[in-house]
Amino acid sequence: MRQCEVVTRLKDNDGNVLFNLEKLPTILGKSCIKEWAYIVHDQCKYEADEIKDCSTYNIGDLKPEHVHIVVKFDYPYPFKYIAKMFDLGENYISRINGKYEDALIYLSHRNAPDKHQYAYEEVKASFNYVEEMESIANKPDIDKILKRIHAGEIREFNKTLEIDHMVLNKYKRQIEDGFKIRSEYLEATQQDRNLSVIFLTGESQSGKTSFAKLIAKEKKLSYFVSSSSNDFMYGYKQQDVIIADDIRGSTFSLSDLLKMLDSNTASTVKSRYHNKFLNCSILILTTVLSIEDFYKNVFSEECEPITQLKRRCQTYIEFTKSHIYISQWDKKKMKYTSPITYNNPIKGMYIPKDNLTARDVETHVADLFPFLKKTDLAELDGSDFRPVEDEDKLPFN
């Protein structure tokens, strides 16, 4: 082993020396030892689990003085060699199975708050123990971050909000592996899911994508808008809502689409470098095609009936710029219900009530092109300039 802890009493109950501290500098000075630290614990007290089979001591009695020595070697050494080096039995030597840092911290009991807290200055070391403890205290707990990732508390889309940027840079590989393991865990354990699928159709600029985002925002859910490239899932980072924007037939086959839209069975979706597990609760499809035309134009040669697509899209919404028409899939009748009409909320949110005026244009130009100077029409000779007085004749009207 390359790192170990040595713990032994200094004297027996009769006062006989069991371990001579005066020999310690010579032992720790051996060339095979890379670094070391030790402390004499003289204020430790017996706890309940330490006196179960002993009537000699009571809970709270002071323990005999004992020394804790933490050692790191240049190369691995067997137990018997280390025991011989310290002139002790092998039972006094233990391997440090956890973090070496934790063993160093335990010398002063900072990671054992119920025990007596020793001053840093009481620890003797081959390095500056005080500075090392301060450095460890200020060091980010990467294990705690990874546990939060594995628990789903930190997800890829919000990692820059949850994790300090310097920590992200320093532990990039470990954090990326953490997200990968989380995804693999979900894929292995999440066999079922409760997915809501919404099909949005309507003319361009009627507000389909904005409405999809509004659904997520109103529910306080994160959302991902799909890539327009052939890699539909490029950039997906485990958001709660997936918006398959302006979906096209070239994106995937009908069988892949049906698998992705299945509201009960969890699945992965093809992506360029590796398949991605869908960890979302809502999936929204937007297209200018009705569901019938979408199926006919995109999957007309597929063997699956259109019912397989329709029944997965439980909510069907048709858009116009002024109204939306919402239907729900009726499992018993195996068709969509008659639509209910609602006002299109996007029209009032994004379309201004008033037309732009000449003053609005001037303000816009001044902000965008502050170096331009407006022409004084009175200074023109009029030979080759004729201003347009009627706003309806402007080229952009």
> Which residues partner with 292 through β-bridges?
none
Whole-number pLDDT of residue 349: 76
Cα–Cα distance for residue pair 310/341, rounded to 1 Å? 20
The rounded percent of the chain whose pLDDT value lies above 90 is 61
- Note the pLDDT tens digit of each residue in 18-72: 999 999 999 999 999 999 999 999 999 988 877 766 667 888 899 999 999 999 9
Binning pLDDT at 50, 70 and 90, where does residue 300 land?
A: low
In the chain, the amino acid numbered 209 is: T
Task: Return the pLDDT at 381.
Answer: 65
Say which residue, 131 or 383, is predicted with more confidence. 131
Is residue 291 within 8 A of residue 318, CB to CB? The reply is: no
Res 393: pLDDT: 53
CB atoms within 10 A of CB 161: 7
Report strand pairing: 124-125 vs 33-41.
antiparallel
Question: What's the pLDDT score for residue 210?
Answer: 93
Counting Cβ atoms within 10 Å, is residue 246 exposed (0-12), middle (13-18) or buried (19+)?
A: middle
**Arithmetic mean of pLDDT, 231-243:** 87
Q: Is the pLDDT of residue 270 over 80?
A: no
Higher pLDDT, 100 or 249: 100
Q: 251 pLDDT exceeds 80? A: no
pLDDT band for 386, please (50, 70, 90 cuts): low
Q: What is the pLDDT of residue 230?
A: 66
- Per-chain mean pLDDT for the chain: 88
* pLDDT above 70 (res 228): no
* In the block, residue with structure tokens 């009032």: 348
Most confident of 175-189, 290-304, 349-363: 175-189
Q: Is the pTM for the entire model greater than 0.85?
A: no
Rg (CA), the chain: 36
Taken in order 283, 288, 290, 295, is the CA torsion positive or negative? negative
Average pLDDT over residues 187-197: 86
pLDDT tens digits for 114-131? 999 999 999 999 999 999
Torsion of CA 351, 357, 361, 362, to 10 degrees: -150
For residue 59, the model assigns a pLDDT of 86
In this prediction, residue 355 carries a pLDDT of 86
Rounded to an integer, what is the distance from CA 153 to the centroid of its chain? Answer: 7
* 16-30, 242-256, 287-301: least confidently modelled range: 242-256
Out of 88-92, 284-288, 302-306, 355-359, least confident range: 302-306
So what's the pLDDT on residue 159?
Answer: 94
| Torsion angle of C-alpha atoms 333, 334, 339, 340, degrees rounded to 10 | 60
Residue-level pLDDT at 55: 63
User: pLDDT band for position 174 (50/70/90)?
Assistant: very high
pLDDT value of position 250: 60
**Is residue 180's pLDDT more than 80?**
yes
pLDDT over threshold 80, residue 160:
yes
- Using alpha carbons, select from 296, 157, 138, 121 the residue that is nearest to residue 238: 157
Q: What pLDDT, on a 0 to 100 scale, did the predictor assign at position 263?
A: 81
What's residue 286's pLDDT? 94
Segment 371-389 mean pLDDT:
70
Euclidean distance between CA atoms 197 and 39, whole angstroms: 64
What is the band of 394 on the pLDDT scale with cuts at 50, 70, 90?
low
